[in-house]
Amino acid sequence: MAATKTKEQLVIHQIVVKAPQRKIYDVGNWRTALSSADNGRTKQLYDLLDDIMIDGVLSDAVQKRIDAVTNSELTFQNADGEEVEEIADLMDTTAWEDLLTEILKKKIYGRSGVEMTFNDGFNVEPIPAKHINLKNRTILRQDTDETGIPYEGDSQLLILGKDRDFGLLLKAAPYAIYKRGGFGDWSQWIELFGMPQRIGKYNTYDPESRKLLEEAFEKAGSAPYVVIPKEADVETKDGGTGSGSSYNEFRQANNEEMLITILGQTMTTVQGEKGARSLGEVHKEVEEGKNKSDLRYVQRVLNQKVLPMLEARGYPVTGGKFIFPKAAEQLSVAEVVQLSDIMDIPQSYLHEKYSIPVPKDGEPVAKRASSQAARFDAGEDPEGEETISNADRNFFMRLWDFFVQAPQVGASVGKAPIRLSDDATMSEKLAARIANGDTGKFDAELFSFIATDFLNGVQTAFKRVVNHADVRFAYGLQDDAFITALEMNLFHFSAGKTLAEIQELNKAFRESGNFQEFSKKAEQICGTFNKTWQKTEYETAVLTAESASNYHRLKGKTKLFPYWKYVTAGDEKVREEHRKLDGVILPANDPRWKKIFPPNGWKCRCRVVPLMKHEVEGIDINAMRAIVDEYLGTGEWKMNEAQGWDSNRGETAEVFSKNQHYIRKFPDKAASLLGDLHYNDYGLDSFGKKAAAATEKAPVFAGDPNEWRNSHQVMDDYKGRKVQLTEEVFKRHTTKKYEEARVPLVECIPDVLKNPDEVWINDYQKKFDNLNFIKFYEDKVINVVCEVKNGTLYQVTTWFEIEQNANIKVKGRRSRKIDPRWRYRRGLLIKK
């Protein structure tokens, strides 16, 4: 081994390490410390950063980044691809873990350094960040010095960082300071208003009783009190509830900002909304992307910096390299079972993986019971009945006969004896329904599966408090019309996707020679539609909903934030064209935002943050516009434009544009494609059965319509969203020819909206975007029709009683278009 320094020569023994300055910090101190650090004096800033690491959420987020590296498997392989025992022993020490930690701290603090010694084994001594002067490349003896010990050329020192880079903690610091101050204000509020007030009353003519009351209250605890004459009239309110929630929301907003800064997301650390499992998986993927970036960085530092230091000390590392092996994807039991059909899996591996003991000789073993349908051979006649013609041919051979004729008669005609277990997958159910002829061009269960998945993601996205811009800029008020318009768009998209998937399955059915072949094709088709594509579409829907909601909040704050800034996710997954837009600042009213407001592609994670006027002083706005104009001339933009990413979803109130539907221009074609889907296609009871089963009587109104409308201008639907009843619509339906029939029904409107039996999307009045709220009363059936205008107005358009005994001269299926019992219960069923 090469010679190393003596203890007296070690840099770590020459520096004076002092405790950080502990005091009450505010954002002004942060600004001052940053300004000082920009000029090369970093002590104040790093003392502040050390102090804010007391915050539990922030320190836990930082530790997550570090643990992801230290817990990952790391190996060293020589030039022959073999492990080296000396290096393996070196890596199996606490000092090596300290080395990995300090390397990653470069990203956290902007700089880091260690001194490695080999005199008494392998040791790593961290050098405090405030003692590292990157400007003059020295290690400071005192943290207030301007020069110190040069570190360049020292073979035992590893110093990382760039001048004026102060890491992720610099960005998270304001939120930790805000949070700390917010907790102080909250505790003061609780002290003042958390306990109920006490009121003592005394006789005006007995001043001595007043003194006694005051003495009693003083001795009875610290709760606030007031002493008043008996004749006084005082109203007492409990101050311990209600307004304190704003402090908690402020705390949550700061926590989310810190987590987004360090981890890129929030839901792997703090609890999300109920039902947010899918969104949590998306957030976990974001965090894993950060972790992969950290692993690559640490691996490069080890190979480019640490490896030469080890080689200089005689370690056998020539030609070798450190590697973080890619972890094998964890397989579920179902996936292992599927793999066993195409490859040989040793039983010993499964016994070891799942800690299942090997059964002893003669010991009973657990097995899944085979279904009778799978074991059945028609030739065995298990019931002892008489022999059937062709009984010597098994079940699948008889299916072959069926499929020979299938291409001639069509995939949705005929009957195939396909039986399913209770736990059949979606692809198995669809394949059976196609083969049995139970599904034509549309499948209600598939539509519900696709739409529900999208809605869960988008609704969860809207419930989250997105606060990328500033701790003062948060939202919790839902724009009900806008959300409903987005959901309408998702229902249209899900319906088009359902039609496309069923079309592909029908095509595969016609082209298959037997059921086994069709079943495999169906599994592949469903996997592509419902897993691969659904995952991308789901993530895009969530990101689009968040971005569109952010746009609406930003539009309402343009006086305070007149400028907007385009920001990417900042990792290696960012598209190169989007990276060029990173940091672009434009006025909020610049027409370019109509084109570039995120998302700008599938799974685009870019966002926009607001800026105050003083924050853009010195910025060349014309140069920024030139950057955007250059982007709009690139091939990437032309491709996005062709794919429907050329609009601001916050203005169009769409998640997916018309050109992104599985069926091009689907919203314009929905009536012809879905107009003949009726209640029986969804397995619902007939109009007559539903009406006969109703037990609630319809409310009847007999007062002044105008007075009623004054108190019902806004009503809640079944999701708690606000529906408006405009004066124009109300007047049109309560005067002239409508007065006699519609006025008595007005009391039904809020009840039907709040408690509908069914909600359908169809083309009752115009395009396929009318919401029909239908409720069955004991004596009548009421339909309240609503619409969303331009994503801004969610309103009632009409209401009426559905006629139950209409005189329809046209008979057969053609009558359904005009028969009231069929006309309104058709299209897309979104609630039942």
Using one digit for the tens of pLDDT, what is the confidence trace for 3-15?
455 554 788 888 8
User: DSSP 3-state assignment of 773?
Assistant: strand
Q: Is residue 671 scored above 70 in pLDDT? A: no
Per the structure block, which two tokens stand in for 418? 């396909």
- Closest CA relative to residue 326, chosen from 355, 350, 303, 299: 299
Residue 230: C-alpha distances to residues 203, 212, 226 (Å): 6, 15, 12
- Quick: pLDDT tens for 424-480: 788 888 888 888 877 778 888 888 888 888 888 877 776 653 444 343 333 333 477
**649 near 596, Cβ under 8 Å?**
no
Of the candidate ranges 174-183, 276-285, 583-592, 717-726, the one whose mean pLDDT is the lowest: 276-285
Residue 373: pLDDT band with limits 50, 70, 90? very low
- 750-760 pLDDT per residue, tens: 999 999 999 99
Mean of pLDDT values over 506-525: 86
Read off the pLDDT band of 560 (50, 70, 90).
confident
207: pLDDT strictly greater than 60 = yes
AA identity, residue 644: G
Domain boundaries, the chain: 1-197+244-325, 396-539, 560-662, 675-831
Share above pLDDT 90 across residues of the chain, in percent, rounded to a whole number: 19
List pLDDT tens digits, range 72-92. Answer: 889 998 888 888 888 988 999
> What is the mean predicted confidence (pLDDT) over 194-208?
75
- What is the pLDDT, as a whole number, of residue 452? 87
Statement: residue 409 has pLDDT above 60: no
- Residue that is written with structure tokens 């020539």 in the block: 318
> Is residue 176 a contact partner of residue 258, using CB atoms and an 8 Å limit?
yes
What pLDDT, on the 0 to 100 scale, is given for residue 751? 95
Please give the model's pTM, rounded to 2 decimal places. Answer: 0.48
- Output the pLDDT for position 417: 46
For residue range 600-616, list pLDDT tens digits in order. 888 888 889 999 988 88
Q: What is the distance of C-alpha 240 from the center of its chain?
A: 34
The pLDDT score that the predictor gives to residue 810 is: 66
DSSP 671: H
- Give per-residue pLDDT as tens, 169-185: 999 889 888 888 887 77
Q: Check residue 517 and give its pLDDT.
A: 86
DSSP lists the bridge partners of residue 150 as 138
Mean per-residue pLDDT of the chain: 79
808, amino acid identity: I
Average pLDDT over residues 58-76: 90
* Cα end-to-end distance, the chain, whole Å: 78
On the question of pLDDT at 357 being above 80, the answer is: yes
**Residue 279, pLDDT above cutoff 50:** no
Nearest to 93 by CA among 113, 77, 117, 109: 117
Angle at 547 between CA 542 and CA 549, to 5 degrees: 95
Tokens of 638: 């032309």
Helix-strand-coil split of the chain, %, nearest 5: 50, 10, 40
- Average of per-residue pLDDT across 235-250: 64
HSE toward the beta carbon, residue 706, CA cutoff 13 A: 1
Residue 343 has pLDDT above 60, yes or no: yes
The model's confidence at residue 696, banded by pLDDT at 50, 70 and 90, is very high
pLDDT at 363: 75
Q: Point out which residues pair with 776 in neighbouring strands.
A: 781
What pLDDT is recorded for position 401?
A: 39
